[in-house]
Structure 1
Amino acid sequence: KSAKDLEGKKVAINTLKNINESAVRESVRKDGGDPDKVKFVELAFDQMPAALDSGQVDAACAVEPALATIKSQGGQVIASPMVDVAQGTTVAMYFTSTRYQQQNADVVKKFQEATAESLAYADAHPDEARQIITTYTKIPASVLAQVTLPKWPAEPNKESVEALAKLGEEDGFFKKTPDVDALLP
């Protein structure tokens, strides 16, 4: 199986017309398929394993810990959508308004520094990162042990954000490509 095989299939994503839909569509395109032939179904990540198991959907664009659960149930990875967008795709960022940043420059700077420090620490100490996850989630230890931890870069990957912006326009999510330079520091 490959991403092209998703044509005519139901694929679970957490939100329609978001980063995951763009990424799956790009995986299908890169594999020679037509993403317009994929039927996207909106499901919460934690509902995806059961939906796959019951046949409600044929595939899922899942994140951890749902991905580890799906693999433990015999599911197979057929594509890496975020990698198909760009190597090191940025999937999350913090934003503030220009006004807040101008009025609270010191707070913003300290927040950026603290965030960068904590992300570097988590990257360097995966066992401790897993332990911290148990303090604010109910992920069973057996599942958490199988979870693939992400990389936590302190800076956004501008090229990946630009690629996502272009895909968003190409896929009809935006009327025009957002100005990435205006959004990023």
Structure 2
Amino acid sequence: MRGQRAASTPRQRPSAPAARQAALTGRGGVVVMFGAALLGGLTARWFGVDVLAGAGFTAGCVLAALATRPADLLTLAVSPPLVFLVATALAVLATSAGDGSLLTSVSVGVLAALSTTAPWLFLGTILVLAITAPRGLVANARELRGKLVGSRLFEQEENENPVRWDESPARERPRLPHGEVD
């Protein structure tokens, strides 16, 4: 009897779009961007093709913007420049470990890599903003602004000018050295 009931009731399967839709957190999206940028930066340094660094970063930006859940889009939208800088610095540090002075080779390498891949940074950042804006970035920014308006950050102070020259301080009685007794 039990076998017949179990066999006769169909199994509940999740719908196809829900099963395929992966939702990253904001930190997960940043990690995806960082991993793609680091992989692209390392391959660009190893093979001497600067385009690989920018293409890897841009691909990571697009993938993270599409896969991050809507509640965390604000975190993702502000992080591409920092992710790009850290990934570039780590790629240069990893590939210039045996080149004489480490400080000189890393600083020159980072500046050279940033100057050659700067357009890719702008492209990746613009793509993140363009993809996340219709997905809920604007609503998240409005919600954050609404929360901040209620705080003291945007309120006008009652006492804007704490120094008031027109008011004289109240005159205090001089304190006697032996206490309150005259």
Name the TM tier (shorter chain): under 0.3
Q: What's the TM-score once normalised by structure 2's chain length?
A: 0.25
Which structure: larger Rg? 2
Higher-helix-fraction structure: 2
